[in-house]
Amino acid sequence: MRVILASTSPRRRELLALLGLPFEVQAPSFDERLLPGLPVADLAVEFACGKARAVARLAPDAVVIGSDTLIEIDQEALGKPETIADARGMLRKLKGRRHRIHSAVAVCVSDRRFEETALSTVQVWMKPFSDADLEAYLASGESIGKAGAYAIQGSGVRLIERIAGDYTAAVGLPLSETAVLLEKCGLSVPTDLRHLYRSRPYANWSRFA
């Protein structure tokens, strides 16, 4: 059975590969619009479903995985900054505070009318970093295109004090939930998840016990 990841994110490709299943990648034709009034966690689920459905319509016999990650602070969703000024504003809002990362995953098989979703939420405590630290991070260019303007798997880890929750969800694809949904769909996941979570074979994962 074909498995398609409805994402162009290198991080999601790398994480999904850890499950040991062969898969294809296809960019979803889906417009992520922040809808006012909808809880941020629900919005992440809606986006994940929208991406999966968009690809499933084109490949109705395939198992399609969609995922989305949003940052929540003060009940507001922070998406991906398009400019350094956007990123600076987001990171200043997060500085020295706790926020939540909501990562949703959806698995669809159009022909079988199968659709299941799951959500993983991670709490993140940001350090009260200095303006110099902020500007140095912005100068790296890593903020652009990252939800909340930082990458926990990259040098953005230096801005983080600690997390509570699944590290893979903080990166962008909750592997435990993804494996459960794939197995519900009838696929066998070759990777031993207990060993995977013990060994933490991904950038910066070992920093978060």
Compute how many other C-beta atoms are within 10 angstroms of the C-beta atom of residue 93.
17
DSSP the chain: --EEE----HHHHHHHHTTT---EE--------PPTTS-HHHHHHHHHHHHHHHHHTT-TTSEEEEEEEEEEETTEEE---SSHHHHHHHHHHHTTSEEEEEEEEEEEEGGGTEEEEEEEEEEEEE----HHHHHHHHHTTTTTTSGGG--TTTGGGGGEEEEES-HHHHHT--HHHHHHHHHHTTPPP-S-HHHHHHH--STTGGG--
Confirm whether 86 is a catalytic residue: no
Residue with tokens 């479903």: 49
DSSP 60-89: TTSEEEEEEEEEEETTEEE---SSHHHHHH
- The residue annotated as part of the active site, out of 61, 68, 111, 131, is 68
- Cβ atoms of 105 and 52 within 8 Å: the answer is no
The residues that are catalytic are 68
